[in-house]
């Protein structure tokens, strides 16, 4: 299963294994079991600290395997074959169970080790899901660092009966002690905070003790990362507060238009951005959701950002780069059946609809690409476009029309997502040409109708467009002196990663220019002292 080059790379990584580990495999008569056996037999000889044996316990899932540290309680289990996006999870599990240290901060490691209680986690993933590895790797690390935590990662495509029984229609899906616990991408810090009941209060207390920043960036996507780097390079006190570092990019599959980088994937780009920011003296405050902007009372004074956890931050200048999120249809049934047939990531959730009927809402590039990808997995795809023609690139439209299991409906306004027994069973749309209503029977609805800015928290405090975007000029300046904005949350046209990066750097340079031209008012300087 592994080519010679991959074997060589893996062998080099496995030189970092310090403790003896054992691969304990559980097979059945399936073809996938044979593939798993082949994979494990290829891994075993790559290190003299790895042994392989067969599982005797008949109650465990098959095919599956455990990675256990010899003479200890440390271990993780994979049910399935962790290839594709999960191959990195396999490599990290081998290394970390084998005693190689994690790159997590010492603070987070100690927080994990202090968690009290019995935690049995199960994570359902798909091999095409770019968000799943973050969750799998985080929970694996928890189980390695704390013997009271156990974790099994399960390929939903191989355990369809279990997926159906648990009504899983979106991944990653996390269960704790048999009960639904989490859905979607989560970072290590988010998981730990959710388990540690005192985490929010402790973090708020820590943030409240911070001195005012000269530049404070709100948002950690391409614009925010770029702004933080450019500000820090000026040698000024810089902070970045982000609800989720990487933002929407973390949910993006293939990226082929970032100049000089022919191809990358969202999670890889996010990791690279975060690493680049960490090269500079930037105070990164992750998992922080901004709730309120209180502008400075005088030009050059301190703006205040109140956070959802009750803490607040002050800064002489701000760069608002809160990005955007998937736009919702806003029709009956959409929220009710979210993650129960209504989905927004075809790469993540597409494999769960193998052989079934799905709809894609939206005829732009994202919608057509989603329909093309899904057509190779599902039984049938119905694409619905509100306008009288699709707006996707012609090359994509041509490809879509060539697929035999795809139906294209234009002038189609989705009016309702219907369901039964807690699952989607179809959608209703209106033909905008005739006014007639139609119902399409299906099991899944993938919404791909663009993005909307994360600016609700700014209403009434800063000038926004009719679409909720922050109005900026050519320098990234907003309606408030000392407050700048960049990226998908602004009125700058063409929402592209490369444009957001450029706008973020411009906003930071504008903020620096503002700082050198405006002194702190004496009254505020005394108050801050």
Catalytic residues: 345, 348-349
Q: How far apart, in whole angstroms, are the C-alpha atoms of residue 490 and residue 503?
A: 10
Q: How far apart, in whole angstroms, are the C-alpha atoms of residue 506 and residue 474?
A: 9
Tally of helices (H runs) and strands (E runs) in the chain: 15, 27
Q: How far apart, in whole angstroms, are the C-alpha atoms of residue 524 and residue 126?
A: 54
Q: How far apart, in whole angstroms, are the C-alpha atoms of residue 127 and residue 67?
A: 19
Report phi then psi at 146, rounded to 5. Answer: -130, 115
Q: How far apart, in whole angstroms, are the C-alpha atoms of residue 494 and residue 369?
A: 19
Q: How far apart, in whole angstroms, are the C-alpha atoms of residue 304 and residue 208?
A: 12
Q: Smallest Cα–Cα separation from 343: which of 318, 362, 324, 323? A: 362
User: Within 10 Å of residue 393's Cβ, how many Cβ atoms?
Assistant: 13
Residue 152 and residue 207 in contact, taking contact as beta carbons nearer than 8 Å: no
3-class state of residue 132 by DSSP: helix
3-class state of residue 87 by DSSP: helix
Q: How far apart, in whole angstroms, are the C-alpha atoms of residue 97 and residue 79?
A: 17
């Amino acid at each position: 299963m592994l080519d010679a080059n991959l074997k060589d790379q893996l062998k080099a990584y496995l030189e970092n294994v310090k403790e003896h580990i054992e691969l304990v495999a559980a097979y059945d008569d399936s073809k996938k079991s044979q593939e798993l056996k082949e994979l494990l037999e290829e891994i075993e000889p790559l290190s003299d600290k790895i042994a392989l044996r067969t599982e005797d316990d008949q109650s465990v899932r098959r095919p599956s395997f455990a990675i256990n540290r010899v003479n200890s309680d440390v271990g993780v289990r994979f049910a399935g074959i962790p290839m594709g996006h999960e191959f990195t999870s396999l490599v990290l599990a081998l290394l970390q169970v084998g005693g190689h240290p994690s790159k997590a901060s010492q603070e987070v490691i100690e927080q994990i080790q202090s968690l009290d209680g019995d935690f049995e986690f199960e994570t359902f993933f798909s091999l095409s899901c770019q968000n799943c590895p973050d969750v799998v790797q985080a929970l694996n690390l928890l189980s390695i660092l704390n013997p009271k935590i156990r974790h099994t990662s399960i390929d939903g495509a191989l355990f369809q009966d279990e997926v159906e029984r648990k009504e899983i229609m979106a991944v990653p899906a996390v269960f704790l002690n048999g009960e639904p616990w989490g859905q979607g991408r989560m970072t290590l810090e988010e998981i730990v905070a959710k388990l540690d009941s005192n985490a929010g209060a402790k973090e708020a207390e820590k943030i409240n003790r911070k001195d005012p920043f000269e530049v404070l960036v709100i948002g950690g996507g391409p614009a925010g990362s770029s702004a933080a780097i450019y500000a820090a390079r000026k040698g000024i006190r810089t902070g970045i507060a982000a609800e989720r570092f990487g933002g929407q990019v973390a949910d993006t599959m293939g990226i082929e238009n970032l100049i000089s980088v022919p191809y990358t994937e969202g999670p890889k780009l996010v990791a690279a951005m975060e690493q680049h920011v960490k090269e500079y003296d930037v105070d990164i405050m992750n998992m922080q959701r901004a709730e309120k902007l209180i502008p400075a009372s005088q030009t050059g004074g301190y703006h205040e950002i109140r956070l959802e956890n009750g803490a607040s931050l002050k800064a002489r200048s701000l760069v608002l780069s809160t990005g955007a999120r998937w736009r919702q249809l806003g029709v009956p049934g959409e929220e009710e059946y979210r993650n129960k047939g209504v989905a927004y990531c075809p790469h993540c959730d597409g494999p769960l609809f193998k052989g079934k009927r799905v709809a894609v809402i939206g005829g732009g590039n994202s919608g057509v690409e989603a329909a093309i990808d899904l057509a190779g997995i599902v039984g049938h795809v119905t694409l619905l476009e509100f306008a009288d023609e699709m707006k996707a690139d012609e090359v994509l439209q041509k490809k879509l029309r060539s697929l035999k299991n795809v139906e294209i409906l234009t002038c189609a306004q989705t009016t309702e997502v219907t369901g039964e027994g807690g699952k989607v069973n179809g959608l209703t749309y209106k033909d905008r040409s005739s006014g007639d209503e139609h119902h399409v029977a299906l099991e899944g609805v993938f919404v791909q109708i663009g993005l909307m800015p994360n600016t609700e928290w700014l209403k009434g405090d800063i000038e926004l467009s009719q679409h909720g975007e922050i109005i900026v000029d050519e320098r990234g300046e907003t309606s408030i002196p000392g407050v700048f904005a960049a990226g998908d949350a602004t009125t700058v046209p063409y929402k592209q990663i490369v444009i957001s990066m450029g706008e973020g750097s411009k906003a930071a340079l504008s903020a620096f220019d503002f700082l050198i031209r405006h002194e702190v008012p004496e009254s505020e300087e005394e108050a801050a002292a």
